Structure formats: structure tokens, C-alpha cells
Amino acid sequence: MNQFKYISPKTKEEALEILQEKKSDACIVAGCSNVLPNIRNKKINPKLLVDIVNIEQLKGIYRKEDKIFLGPLTTINELIYSEVIFKEYNVLTQAAEQFADPLVRNTATIGGNLVTASPAADMAVPLLTLGAVIKIESIRQKREVKLKEFFLGPGKTVLQDDEMIVGIEFEQSDINKNGYFVKLGKRKAMAIAIVSLALNLEIKRNKIIQIRIALGSVAPIPIRLTVVEEFLKNKEINNKLVEEAVSKVGEEVNPISDIRASEEYRRYISGILFKRAFNKLT
Amino acid sequence: MKKIEIEFTINGKKRKIFVKPNDLLINIIRNDLYLTGSKYGCGIGECGACTVLLNGEPVLSCLTLALTIDGKEITTIEGLAKGDELHPMQKAFLKNGAVQCGFCTPGMILTATVLLRENSNATEDEIRDYMRGNLCRCTGYVQIVKAIEECASEGKTS
């Protein structure tokens, strides 16, 4: 394996200073489950690994007024065992339970899953339907970016070389309580999604008050289906509406053909997964 | 490259060694400490053959930098038996013929002990779900699941 230096700062401020100084020579690691395979496959060649796993400020799941805050170092297993996530943001629990395998889930972090910016990122899809906001810091500035504006392309995000994620936040609301996640892969363990879908829904008297739909592996980035969402909002639920929505889902997604599935199949199955999720929640 | 000293506990014994920043835990365990029970399989976190317990939790030692275990506690398959007395999970694997080529066995057994610690009455479905990151390329899953089920039903979790 290529050589690199290693440093493990104990505070956020220390880590940001290192990033400010080293810029693109530095690579942040936490769980290492993406970075180490990438170094070994020679996809990346960082001169310095900045291991942030010991920074307590970046850990934890807690309530802040009417919001919930996730430290970026929250592991996938911590999400699975969190009672507040299970009760109020169940779509995230469901996605965490389908993430890789129990061994990887012990070290892989939610922040790592987002910065990797895979089009198939399992945690990005439910976080999109929860309306998550990403808190970003550098020595220069602090800023917040909506998750749906965070990804730029495969492996690319709005993060600058000197910035890092310091938190993930989303609101406590009725729509966030009622969610469903479904992932189609070749097998259960370690499978990269062929298509994944999250749906959050608020219904009153058979009418859709609010709806958020997100999909993975159907575009260069995990996406929200805003056209379908607009189409369904304030409508009375009936079979015809669902069938129309299913075909609109297939139109709005923008998949490619690759080793896992063809474009046509992905368009078709996106609609099917939407229907499954919709029926589950209504 | 400059080596750095780390101190940790492995199978109950304190050890101090020097490691390079890019040394992987699996290589240190096998090549420096001569504990060859843990296996190097895929090297990219797909197969689970390199599973060890880090502070009691199963992790993949091929995706763990040796430097990061400073001050922590490691258990490998060699640390499960008490003297000549095998761990109940090891006995159950032997009794049920759950070992074929043996390459996946150390990882399987370590993950299985944590499964039963968390869920001592695990059903077949729960066992299969929890063990999904440990691959057996002899495909001897039926016997492996049977061994874990037997351990669960007898309440022998440690």
C-alpha cells in the first residue's frame, strides 16, 4: 500500500487547522471503509490521513429544539440502535439496517457515506426525504447546505479542500415520522443498490398533504423527484393517481446502464419501488 | 517510513510494538504477533475472514490501521478458548461439521459470539441476517447456522 503520514487530532479546531494548511494533500478518514480500499486500488494517493474518529465534538445524536442533530461520526450501528431515530425518523433506521453488513456498520460513519458521494449512497436517500441540512465548517467560514444541493456528481460535493462536515440536521415533523425505504440489490449483504428509494408522506383524510421522494443509483447523484412530488401534492389518493405517478417516476429518473443493470430496467423498477413504498405507507 | 510505538491488549496480554502509518491491523496480527488464526481474505472489507473484536465489537482488521488500536483491546480467535477448554461456539462448530476448509471459521465464530451476546435467542432468520458479512466459499452455511442456533438454544453464549 502507498505510504502516507497519519495524524489524529482531538478537537474540531485542530482538524480544521490541518485542513487549512494541507488542503488537497490531506484526506479525512473516520471508519476507513471507503478510503483504505481506494488507496489500495490506487484511486487516491493522499499524503496525509487526518483521522477524525477521536473528536468527541463530531459524535452523538441529540435534539436541538425542534430539530435532531447527528454528529458526522455517528456510525451506522449507532443509528440502528437510536431510539429517537427509530421512533421519529424510521426511514433512516430502515436504510441503516440494509447498509452493508454488521461488521462494516460498526465503523462506517454517516458523514463518510455522504462525502464519498456515491450515486448509490444508502444513507443519502433517506436523508433527502427527511430534508436534511449539512453543516459545514472551515477556518474561513461556517455554512449550511441543503443535502439536495450538496452533491455535484459521482464522488463530487460542494465541500472545498479546507472544509469538513460538522453536523447533519433535520426537522421534527409529521412527514418525517412516516417513511419507508426500499433497496433493490443482487443480494442482501454488501450489495450496491441497483435502485434504492425513500418515501416520506403526510396524509390527511385520504389527501396527500406533503410528499418527498428520493432515489439512489438512478442519476449521477442521489436525487429528489420534485416533479412527481408536485404532481402528487394536494391530490386525493386513488388507484389511477398511483398508476400515473408510477409512470412519472420512470420519466423523471435519469439512470445509466452499467454492470448492475440497464437504464430501461432502472426506469421500470424505480416506478415499481415507488408503488411498493406508497402502498406500504397508505 | 518512521515507525510509531503503540500499546494495546491482545487476548488479555499487554503488548507494545512499533508500526508504520500504513500498516494494517491484519498484517500486524499475523506477521508481527504470529497469531495466524485471523485470515487475510479479500482485503477490501467484503468477506469477513479478517474479523477480530475491537473493544468487544466485531470489526474488519483489513480495513483497520494498526495505529488506531493504540490503547484498545483486541480479541482474536486464539483468545476465545479458556486454556484447553474450547469456547461453546467453537465446540458447536466442531460438533455440527460447520468447518470445511476453515478459512472463514475464525471470523464466523467471532461474529457469532457477538450476535448471541446481543441477542441470545436469535432465530434462524436473525442469524442469517447478522452473519451476512461473513462469507463461506465452501458454502457450508447450513451447518454454520445450525451450530449457532444450537449454541443459542443451549444458552451458551460465553
Contact residues of B toward A, CB < 8 A: 1, 20-22, 24, 43-46, 48, 51, 57-60, 62-65, 67-68, 111, 129-130, 132-134
Listed in sequence order, the residues at least 6 apart from B113 whose beta carbon sits closer than 8 Å to its beta carbon are B80, B87, B89, B157, B158
pLDDT band at A2 (very low <50, low <70, confident <90, very high): confident
The full 3-state SS of A166-232, as one line of letters, equals EEEEEECCHHHHCEEEEEECCCCCCCCCCEEEEEEEEEECCEEEEEEEEEECCCCCCEECHHHHHHH
**Cβ contact, residue pair B132, A49, below 8 Å:** no
All domains in chain B, ordered by first residue = 4-79 (3.10.20.30), 88-153 (1.10.150.120)
Residue ranges of chain A assigned to CATH 3.30.465.10 = 56-171
**pLDDT value of residue A192:** 85
Q: Kindly report the number of other CB atoms within 10 A of residue A165's CB atom.
A: 26
Residue ranges of chain A assigned to CATH 3.30.390.50 = 174-281
**Cβ contact, residue pair B58, A106, below 8 Å:** yes
Contacts with A8 from chain B: Cβ below 8 Å: 67-68
CA distance A271 to A262: 15
C-alpha cell at A69: 442533530
**Cβ contact, residue pair B133, A51, below 8 Å:** no
Contacts with A192 from chain B: Cβ below 8 Å: none
Q: What is the pLDDT of residues B7-65, one digit of tens each?
A: 999 999 999 999 999 999 999 999 999 999 999 999 999 999 999 999 999 999 999 99
Q: What angle do CA A36, A42, A46 make, to 5 degrees?
A: 65
Look at residues A51, A45, A8 and name the one whose alpha carbon lies nearest to residue A29: A51
**pLDDT value of residue B1:** 77
Contacts with B129 from chain A: Cβ below 8 Å: 188
If DSSP codes are grouped into helix, strand and coil, which group holds residue A64?
A: strand
Contact residues of A toward B, CB < 8 A: 1-6, 8, 31-33, 36-37, 40-41, 49, 51, 53, 100-104, 106-107, 188-190
Please name the helix (run of DSSP H) or strand (run of DSSP E) that holds residue A30, with its range, or none. none
Question: Using an 8 Å Cβ cutoff, are B137 and B103 in contact?
Answer: yes
CATH class belonging to A5-51: alpha beta
**Cβ contact, residue pair A106, B132, below 8 Å:** no
Look at residues A110, A32, A107, A35 and name the one whose alpha carbon lies nearest to residue A71: A110
Note the CATH architecture for domain A56-171: 2-Layer Sandwich (3.30)
Which residues of chain A form beta strands (DSSP E)?
5-7, 26-29, 48-51, 61-64, 67-70, 133-137, 142-146, 151-153, 156-157, 164-171, 179-184, 195-204, 207-216, 223-224
**Cβ contact, residue pair B63, A100, below 8 Å:** no
**Cβ contact, residue pair B63, A2, below 8 Å:** no
**Cβ contact, residue pair A102, B111, below 8 Å:** yes
Question: Using an 8 Å Cβ cutoff, are A194 and A214 in contact?
Answer: no
Q: What is the pLDDT of residues A176-213, one digit of tens each?
A: 999 999 999 887 767 788 999 999 999 999 999 999 99
Q: What is the pLDDT of residues A215-260, one digit of tens each?
A: 999 999 999 999 999 999 999 999 999 999 999 999 999 999 998 9
Residue among B2, B3, B44, B60 with most chain A CBs within 10 A, to mutate:
B60
**Cβ contact, residue pair B133, A100, below 8 Å:** yes
Q: What is the pLDDT of residues A50-100, one digit of tens each?
A: 999 999 999 999 998 899 999 999 999 999 999 999 999 999 999 999 999
CATH class belonging to A174-281: alpha beta
